[in-house]
Structure 1
Amino acid sequence: MSFVSIRGNRSNRTNQRSEPAVSGLRNGPTAQYLRRIFGELKSHKRLAVSDQILLMISFCTAYLLQVGMPVGEAGYKALSGLILYGAAASLVIFPVAGMYRRHPKTASIPDALSSFTGVAIVIGIMTIASLSGMISIQPHLGTLIVAFFIAMPLLSGSRLARRIGSRYETVLNGEKRAQTENRIPLLLVGTGTSCDLYLRALRNTSDTEYRPIGIVDSVEDSKGLFFHDIPIVGSVRDIDAVADWCTRKEMPRQIVLTEAPSQFDQKAIKSLVEWAEGRGIAIRKLAGLCETFELEEAQPLKTLEVAPDDLLQRPARMCDHHRMARLISGARVVVTGAGGSIGSELARQIAANGPESLLLLDHSEYNLYSVTKDLAHYFPEVDRHSEICDIRDKERVERFFQQHKPDIVFNAAALKHVPIVEKNPCQGVLTNVVGTRNVAEAALRVNAKAMVQISTDKAVNASSVMGATKRVAELYCAGLDREARESDTRFMTVRFGNVLGSSGSLIPLFKEQIACGGPLTVTDPRMERFFMTIREAVELTLMASANGVERQTDKGSIFVLDMGEPIKIIDLAERMIRLSGMEPGRDIAIKIIGTRPGEKLFEELFDKLETRSACGIDGVLSAASASVSLAELRRWADRLEAFARLQDRPMVLRTLQDIVPGYGESADEIENAPRRNDLPPEEAKAVPLSNRHFADAPKGPFSIGADLLRNKIVVRH
């Protein structure tokens, strides 16, 4: 073997032995520690430079305070040496002390302790080095002590200032957003760790939809204190005090339990929940902070409760509770359709504002029983009168109003399901038009302060019988408000979008279909609607009446809630499935079934002939349409009643078409309706005497043609 090959083999063996040693040095604990230190410095470059500058300022200030202005070369040399040695020591000590380990936005007490440790070590090293002669300068001991007490607040304060700056940047951004969108007021229960962290999260989030207004504590001696910047309004053991505060200041939309219900006094929590439910306030609970879930955790199929508020793609609207209370307190109030979704919520919110008496009308025995039972439970002190009454029955409505002499009337009675009313147009007319007329005329005769008619966005450019009948009711109330001279009664209309969670509406249907495993049925993937919650609908009703009475708004106005952008029904279906803990298409299918008679792909809030304006209520607009003679409106209502009671479907549809512009233009049944010159004697007897004036009815802006008005109904005696 040659000398060269032997030498080469030895060199290879030496390299093989040295490679593990080098690798050990590169990956050893010391190398990892150094890499971490340099990584921290790299992530906090600005903070590290800021610390050096502040430390130099501290040494300069301490020198000036202890020694005075540097004199001559020796003085400047001593000062510069003090600064340079301090900077060199801090570059090593500060990272080692952990001053750059935490994110600056989370600065807190541990960061102050790290700063204390770092500065103390630097000052201690410089003191020892100076006394032992290891450094050339000999600073005064008092200078180093003063420098310590100056550097400590400067370094700690810089970290705190950065956190405060980021916080106020978030707050300012949130305030800009709050100028355009109302946040949901929350009443929190509990002052534990979860509440603390929740308030911090809300404070540091600019796009939150929630606004805490108060905290209910579990103890009684903390009332009047502040938790963060939120007032403690009372204790769960004193619900009356909490209720009084909410009535005086602001009523929450949700009450949030920040701890598990078992952590509170059970009897007190039950009283709080009953008080909230009686006023339509939602009860929520914060999710456990320590709960974790696998992303694809295999769990049995289950559904979660979906709150209607979760489906809105906008914050719910707020209302002026004080104005509502001024209207309702001490008044005699009538609610028709009191057993329905809107009517029952109206009754609850009216009862919460202390009326003199609450008068409930409904044609359904069970619905009337249910709402009366709820009111007896939550508001036993309110004087209630419940009557089974169909608003189609004019004489019974009149007797009831004459007996109780109401001050405020809310007409929530209606037939509202588009497909059903489409198949039963005569019944739709009798309830939605004739019933509204009966209630309005009765309110007029007893000189009520105000009547509020509940309408729907389906009345705008109506394509269904339901929409057309509600439009006629709108016109009738507007006509009474403009022209009725018999009394000072105000007649106002509130126009709603689709109400989430109301009986027979979309949300209960989807919930039922999800519970059965699907599919969810959607008529058309392009179908979209405006949505609002039951609470919003009722608050708008109350605010409209209060606004109309107090501000004396324009006569014949229709109040319309600004509900944001319409929501596609298929998007709503997918959102409901996800909120129920499942995945659309995988766990629950969505089936397209086609549009039903009378349905439109989209709804509108304003008719093209209406002018809109502000009405003094935030988020609510006022719509005014062309004026229609009250005399004509009464004649049209009488004519519709005559044909409806005769079950003359074609003539009901034709009359609706002539009254409501644009409705039924393509309906074959209307176009082919027979033109009747007279009524058989046995049918003519059923026509009320009040219809005699149809033969002389004049034309108006939405006039029924002369060929329909004249000589079509002949009353025989």
Structure 2
Amino acid sequence: MLRRVVLGGVDCFAVLTSLYITASLIFAPSLAEQFFSSSVAAIFVGSAALVFYISGLYNRSWRFFGFGHAMMVVLVSLIANAIAWSATLTMLAKSPGIGFFAAALTHWLLTIALMMGARSLRRSVQEGLKPKTVAKALSTKPLDENQGIALLVGSPQWALSVLDLIKAEDSPNFEVAGVLLPSISDPIDRVGKAKVLGSHDMLVEVVESLALQGRRPTIVIASDDGIHLSQREIARLSHRAKELGLELSRIRDCWSEILLKTHPNRPQELDVKSLLGRNEYKTNDKLIAGQVEGNCVLTTGAGGTIGGELCRQIASFKPSRLVLVDHSEFNLYEIEMTLRERFPDLDIRSEVCNIRDARKVRRVFAEHRPAIVYHAAALKHVPIVESNPCEGVLTNVLGTKTIADAVCEFEARAMVQVSTDKAVNPVGMMGATKRVGELYSQALDMCGVDDPNAPRFMTVRFGNVLGSSGSILPLFQRQLEQGKPLTVTHPDIERFFMTVREAVQLILQSSSFALEKDTERGTIFVLDMGNPVRIIDLAYRLISAYGLEPEVDVPIEIVGLRPGEKLFEELFDNCEEQVDSRLEGIIEARSQPIPLPFIKKSLERLEMAVREGDREEAKRITHHLARLPSSGVKFDLRMPKRSSRVARSLDPV
């Protein structure tokens, strides 16, 4: 309250001072004396105090006096003066004339000048107590070598806001040498007190010029709103800054995500066709709806990249209930919130459950009784599984067995297993564990050859998924934006690629087709992904998509193959027969399955090795099982007892 009284007193003093100056200059001495009376002074002070207080003028701090505050001073002083002059003329019984109008206008202008002067002085004092960051940055005197110097890169409005933030800091750790605008065509010479040194494309020249003055920048602060500087321009700026040995700091506007949705020049998504060299696969929604609609569907790994997209697409086909299973509470929360926002009427149940925990899995199945199970949970990163073979077995083999056994026990209609091309002729543990999971599902599927009511176990196999967590594309994009070289393990390494949407459509369409048409059991569905893509070619295409030149703007660094990694991936094993599917873009693979008694016995030994922590034994059993179908051993699936005897005689464990 004391602050308001003091500030009000200063403004009232300005009103009275301007009144006395006006009366002395314009009126005759006899009339001027009447305006010097206490009654007239009381009218002007009272009117000003009342209007200023009611308007909320003193809710604003003088330390941050600016244009908006100034406009408010103009308006409230006009109202207060109009009231005071009208009341004074009435009291003095004077008729308004040209002289009085001139006096009122002069008094108002003087009042504004004094009130704004007081506020400007207060702000000047406030800023005078701050370090002269911008002023020192504009000087030509060489700076201390330990003192940071920054270049701002962005629009004039953005740069001005950053300069204001710097001035508000008590002890900023860098100084601004100048501003680089998005376009040199902008005729602006200065932004605030900072000089405009050119456009963002002139970074090299500007840094060299400042270095000659003994003021070489150490940091570049860029506007990362995706509007004034596109992602391509940010990437180029990042590489130039790295070459110059400058640190790049990007400031993202909190409104940028909203602005990007409406800005006509916002960056577009990367063109899948240009990256993959083929068109994206499309699906038949009617076929999928016929199998999913009205059924309870359960998805494992629901919080992952594939599992999350799988849940989003399944939800659109109106299942009676969608059960989300994942061991990560956060991932489960994110996908559940997304689905509830998009499908508010859908019955969604979230289960925090590790597929390694057989008792918990059985409880989930007993409660929800799913009709269709999509099994997407897996450990998928090749080097990690290679260095943690027992963990890979627990999730990719024994976890798959747990889910498949629950499907049998609780009479689900079908289980669809998500597999990978790394399961074909595997050299690493990730591929080998996925192959064993395929074989177990295939063995269960073959058990229902003579029983039309037996559950179906289908395997869907595809290549690398662009944009999935840990995949090569996000890594390349992150390296590009950070100004680093793109790392490729081998110049000849190549992979089959597909998008997340394609992967999920393959899963849904092939499984729905198999259920509706009752296709041959033991079939593995594979997407026709065209020709494999060299990773180094993908890197070149991505660099070009950012408007940069490969090996010139962005180098490629060969880092060597990782443990368990192959140069070339395959889609079919040597023992598998390729059959053209009735579904466009999908190929079926049929191979010699392993009898269920044999694989069950081997999995018991494998589980024992894992529980005992015997990594080498776990790897040996896994690789043996993965290679068995292509080893030339023939099994007679029509004679279970004989198959068991054969299994015992051939069992390597």
Fold shared, TM-score > 0.5 on shorter chain: yes
Deviation at 1:642, TM superposition (A): 1.4
Alignment of 1:254-269 (within 5 A): none
Deviation at 1:703, TM superposition (A): 3.9
Alignment of 1:513-552 (within 5 A): 513-552=479-518
Partner residue, 2:544: 578
Please, which of 403, 411, 420 is the counterpart of residue 447 of structure 1?
A: 411
Please, which of 571, 576, 579 is the counterpart of residue 605 of structure 1?
A: 571
Distance 1:654 1:381 in 2: 49
Say if 2:397 is the partner of 1:433. yes
Please, which of 655, 658, 675 is the counterpart of residue 624 of structure 2?
A: 658
Flag the 1:304–1:573 CA change in 2: closer, same or farther, 3 A: farther
Deviation at 1:522, TM superposition (A): 0.1
Distance 2:537 2:595 in 1: 43
Partner residue, 1:332: 296
Partner residue, 1:262: none
Partner residue, 1:413: 377
- The residue type paired with residue 572 of structure 2 is F
Alignment of 1:285-684 (within 5 A): 306=270, 308=272, 310-484=274-448, 488-661=454-627
Residue aligned with 1:431, SS: helix
Distance 2:261 2:426 in 1: 39
Deviation at 1:657, TM superposition (A): 2.6
Cα deviation code 1:656-680 (max 9, x no counterpart): 2321228999xxxxxxxxxxxxxxx
Quick check: 2:598–2:648 contact (8 Å CA) kept in 1?
no
Quick check: 1:658–1:702 contact (8 Å CA) kept in 2?
no
Quick check: 1:308–1:501 contact (8 Å CA) kept in 2?
no
- The residue type paired with residue 344 of structure 1 is G
Distance 1:551 1:583 in 2: 50
Question: TM-score, normalising length from structure 1?
Answer: 0.51
Flag the 1:526–1:662 CA change in 2: closer, same or farther, 3 A: farther
Cα deviation code 1:560-600 (max 9, x no counterpart): 00100000000001111111221111221110001011111
Distance 1:407 1:595 in 2: 42
Flag the 1:662–1:546 CA change in 2: closer, same or farther, 3 A: closer
Point out where structure 1 has 5 or more consecutive residues left out of the alignment.
Answer: 1-282, 289-301, 666-695, 709-717
Distance 2:649 2:503 in 1: 30
> RMSD of the TM alignment (CA)?
2.5
Distance 1:375 1:429 in 2: 31
Distance 1:569 1:510 in 2: 10
Partner residue, 2:651: 704
- The residue type paired with residue 360 of structure 1 is L
Distance 2:284 2:334 in 1: 28
Flag the 1:358–1:574 CA change in 2: closer, same or farther, 3 A: same
- The residue type paired with residue 348 of structure 1 is R
Flag the 1:438–1:594 CA change in 2: closer, same or farther, 3 A: same
Partner residue, 1:277: none
Flag the 1:413–1:307 CA change in 2: closer, same or farther, 3 A: farther
Residue aligned with 1:451, SS: strand
Distance 2:358 2:452 in 1: 19
Quick check: 1:304–1:581 contact (8 Å CA) kept in 2?
no
Distance 1:399 1:407 in 2: 15
Distance 1:607 1:325 in 2: 32
Distance 2:649 2:437 in 1: 14
Distance 2:614 2:528 in 1: 38
Flag the 1:613–1:663 CA change in 2: closer, same or farther, 3 A: closer
- The residue type paired with residue 331 of structure 1 is N
Higher-RCO chain (CA-CA 8 Å, sequence separation at least 6) = 2
- The residue type paired with residue 460 of structure 1 is V
Flag the 1:430–1:348 CA change in 2: closer, same or farther, 3 A: same
Quick check: 2:494–2:533 contact (8 Å CA) kept in 1?
yes
Flag the 1:307–1:427 CA change in 2: closer, same or farther, 3 A: farther
Residue aligned with 1:409, SS: strand
Cα deviation code 1:161-190 (max 9, x no counterpart): xxxxxxxxxxxxxxxxxxxxxxxxxxxxxx
Distance 1:358 1:521 in 2: 40
Alignment of 1:161-180 (within 5 A): none
Point out where structure 2 has 5 or more consecutive residues left out of the alignment.
Answer: 1-259, 632-642
Quick check: 2:445–2:458 contact (8 Å CA) kept in 1?
yes
Distance 1:501 1:396 in 2: 31
Deviation at 1:644, TM superposition (A): 1.1
Distance 2:458 2:261 in 1: 35
Deviation at 1:285, TM superposition (A): 10
Distance 2:521 2:262 in 1: 45
Flag the 1:629–1:663 CA change in 2: closer, same or farther, 3 A: closer
Cα deviation code 1:216-235 (max 9, x no counterpart): xxxxxxxxxxxxxxxxxxxx
Cα deviation code 1:178-214 (max 9, x no counterpart): xxxxxxxxxxxxxxxxxxxxxxxxxxxxxxxxxxxxx
- The residue type paired with residue 574 of structure 1 is Y
Distance 1:426 1:507 in 2: 28
Residue aligned with 2:544, SS: helix
- The residue type paired with residue 403 of structure 2 is V
Flag the 1:499–1:643 CA change in 2: closer, same or farther, 3 A: same
Distance 2:385 2:350 in 1: 27
Quick check: 2:272–2:279 contact (8 Å CA) kept in 1?
no
Residue aligned with 1:430, SS: helix
Deviation at 1:633, TM superposition (A): 1.5
Quick check: 1:522–1:591 contact (8 Å CA) kept in 2?
yes
Quick check: 2:305–2:500 contact (8 Å CA) kept in 1?
yes
Residue aligned with 1:491, SS: strand
Deviation at 1:318, TM superposition (A): 1.4
- The residue type paired with residue 704 of structure 1 is D
Distance 1:664 1:652 in 2: 20
Flag the 1:310–1:362 CA change in 2: closer, same or farther, 3 A: farther
Cα deviation code 1:15-70 (max 9, x no counterpart): xxxxxxxxxxxxxxxxxxxxxxxxxxxxxxxxxxxxxxxxxxxxxxxxxxxxxxxx
Quick check: 1:304–1:580 contact (8 Å CA) kept in 2?
no
How many residues are treated as equivalent by the alignment? 381
- The residue type paired with residue 402 of structure 2 is N
Residue aligned with 1:538, SS: helix
- The residue type paired with residue 604 of structure 1 is E
Question: TM-score, normalising length from structure 2?
Answer: 0.56
Cα deviation code 1:62-101 (max 9, x no counterpart): xxxxxxxxxxxxxxxxxxxxxxxxxxxxxxxxxxxxxxxx
Deviation at 1:306, TM superposition (A): 3.0
Deviation at 1:286, TM superposition (A): 12
Flag the 1:285–1:581 CA change in 2: closer, same or farther, 3 A: farther
Partner residue, 1:12: none
Residue aligned with 1:660, SS: helix
Identity of aligned residues (%): 48
Deviation at 1:486, TM superposition (A): 10
- The residue type paired with residue 278 of structure 2 is R
Residue aligned with 2:627, SS: coil
- The residue type paired with residue 599 of structure 2 is L
Deviation at 1:700, TM superposition (A): 3.9
Distance 1:388 1:480 in 2: 27
Residue aligned with 1:661, SS: helix
Quick check: 1:447–1:487 contact (8 Å CA) kept in 2?
no
Alignment of 1:132-143 (within 5 A): none
Distance 1:432 1:342 in 2: 15
Distance 2:374 2:577 in 1: 25
- The residue type paired with residue 373 of structure 1 is M
- The residue type paired with residue 500 of structure 2 is I
Distance 1:558 1:545 in 2: 10
Distance 1:581 1:366 in 2: 36
